[in-house]
């Protein structure tokens, strides 16, 4: 569970070409990817993953890309799916995929905020 400096630099450079405000943070051997304050992607084992829900999961499934499994094949599935290598290499295509994942992250943030407000009422 690590990310090589070469892969990290390449993936971040590609993302910065398409999405403003990209930043990253090392996490548990991997790398968290943010646009502003939205956590929408991660890197692990030299693989880029984007956040998914029902609105964009099919795009990944059509390419036979699977979910991030931090604890191996029998472990928990996370709502982050592998980004195909050809998408990572194509800035324009990558931008489209990243924007869809950012929309998922925005939606999730609004849902969490609504729940917190209801609990605080």
Rounded to whole angstroms, the Cα distance separating 52 from 31 reads: 17
Low-confidence ranges of the chain (pLDDT < 50): 114-119, 121
Query: Are 3 and 42 spatial neighbours (Cβ–Cβ below 8 Å)?
Result: no
User: 74-103, pLDDT tens digit by residue?
Assistant: 767 789 999 999 999 999 999 999 999 999
d(C-alpha 40, C-alpha 36), whole Å: 10
Distance CA 27, CA 101 (A): 19
Q: What is the pLDDT of residue 2?
A: 85
Residue 24's Cα: distance from chain center in Å?
Answer: 11
Give the contacts of 66 (CB within 8 A, at least 6 positions apart).
60, 81, 82
Superfamily of domain 5-120: YgaC/TfoX-N like chaperone (3.30.1460.30)
């Amino acid at each position: 569970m690590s990310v090589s400096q070469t892969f990290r630099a390449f993936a971040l450079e590609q993302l910065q070409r398409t999405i403003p405000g990209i930043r990253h943070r090392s996490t548990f051997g991997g790398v968290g990817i943010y646009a502003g304050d939205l956590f929408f992607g991660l890197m692990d084992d030299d693989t880029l993953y984007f956040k998914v829900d029902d609105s964009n999961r099919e795009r990944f499934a059509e390419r036979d890309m699977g979910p991030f499994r931090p604890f191996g094949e029998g472990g928990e599935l996370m709502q982050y799916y592998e980004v195909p290598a050809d998408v990572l290499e194509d800035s324009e295509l990558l931008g489209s995929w990243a924007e869809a994942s950012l929309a998922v992250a925005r939606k999730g943030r609004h849902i969490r905020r609504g729940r917190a407000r209801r609990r605080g009422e």
